Amino acid sequence: MKKRRSINPLFIVITITVVIAVVITMLNLFGINTFQTLSGMTEGKGNSFNSVSLLESGKAYVWHHKGGNIEDDLEGVANEDVFFTCITGDYNFKNKEKEEELDYPRSIWVSSSEDADIPTVTTGDYLIYVSDTEVPDGIIFERFADYGYTIGISNLIKDGSGHYYIDFSDTDEDDYKYFVDMNSDASQVVDLDPITRLYLDKAGDVKVREDSVSDGGTVLGLKKDKSYVCQFYTGTYYQDFRMTANIHSFSSMERFISYDYEFMHSNFIVITIPDYFKSGYYFVNGVGLVRYVSDADAKSYNGKAYDDGIDWNDPIILYNEDGTVKYDPSDPDFEEKQIEEHSDPGVDEEEIEIENNSE
């Protein structure tokens, strides 16, 4: 009786590898995005889609199709990806996405390898929201200031001497999670023994002082993706850590609620961008971040994940020195409130009218 010849496992591996290589080559020849296709096969999802049927409930997207028409793209499969997910990045307000206040400043961290995935919306694009359970009573736009690229630490606090620290375990052993992006290499610091204040004195040659710290408590002046030796102090003892400035950092700045949307005879609504919005980053209804470029900045925008030629943090709501609101275009009754606030409470309008009539 003849022995059955066994197949060499190495031969099987080589054969499969060759087949995959041929498939990839053919896909590329036909102009199909190989990475995206294979990623979709293995994970079942991505950040961009060519069909409205692939959009998930509870997420926001930007429709962008240069020269295209949204009604046409709703009827079938587009010849390119036209729906782009508003990604979240890492953030320190998990499960409190729609809340207005926290004990700590609200921060978003997006790695430099992913910030290009934040979709851009301009005139001609559509911001859309998908839900199979509800139509939002109001769409929350939380605006985040853009502080560029830095290490994965935010919300640094200045002490009386002008040095900066984070609350490491002031009231709770997990305080650091409000200051440190735990998916960045800055997470190394959590291995330190619990201490109330963890000081950051230098990042490379940059001294962490008022002129090198943003309003969001991030270290400024660092080059994207460059590695730095960062000097931390537990008490008066130094602890050096090597960290990379590969985090695009954002901090909460303003909050608005809009009630304007349109149904599209599909599985989503189109959210109207308020006309008073300025170029900036907006966290849409607690589900994802969008980069809005106004008409005033559209021509100069470089089309990249970061453009230091645009003021992304120009405030919409203006305040007086005493903290009262000076100007708020999002409040339809603002002017009326201002008139009432500045009117003389000691003068009775009815008495004025009687006096004028008697004359």
How far apart, in whole angstroms, are the C-alpha atoms of residue 212 and residue 120? 29
pLDDT value at position 15? 53
Task: Quote the Cα angle for 9-13-19, to 5°.
Answer: 140
Query: Could you give the dihedral angle defined by the CA atoms of residues 244, 219, 247 and 193, in that order, rounded to the nearest 10 degrees?
Result: 70
How far apart, in whole angstroms, are the C-alpha atoms of residue 219 and residue 150? 6
Task: Name, in order, each residue with C-beta under 8 angstroms of 36's C-beta and a sequence gap of 6 or more.
Answer: 46, 48, 81
Phi first, then psi: what are they for 299, rounded to 5°? Answer: -70, -30
pLDDT value at position 38? 34
pLDDT value at position 102? 75
> Sign of the C-alpha dihedral, residues 99, 101, 102, 105?
positive
Q: Contact 203/194 with Cβ under 8 angstroms? A: no
pLDDT tens digits in sequence order for the chain, 359 residues long: 444 444 555 444 445 544 455 444 454 444 444 333 333 333 446 899 999 999 999 999 999 999 999 999 999 899 999 999 999 999 999 999 999 877 889 999 999 999 999 999 999 999 999 999 999 999 999 999 999 999 999 999 999 999 999 999 877 778 899 999 999 999 999 999 889 999 999 999 999 999 999 999 999 999 999 999 999 999 999 999 999 999 999 999 999 999 999 999 999 999 999 999 999 999 999 999 999 999 999 999 999 999 999 999 999 999 999 999 999 999 887 766 666 666 555 555 555 455 555 54
> Sign of the C-alpha dihedral, residues 190, 191, 192, 196?
positive
In the chain, the amino acid numbered 35 is F
pTM: 0.82
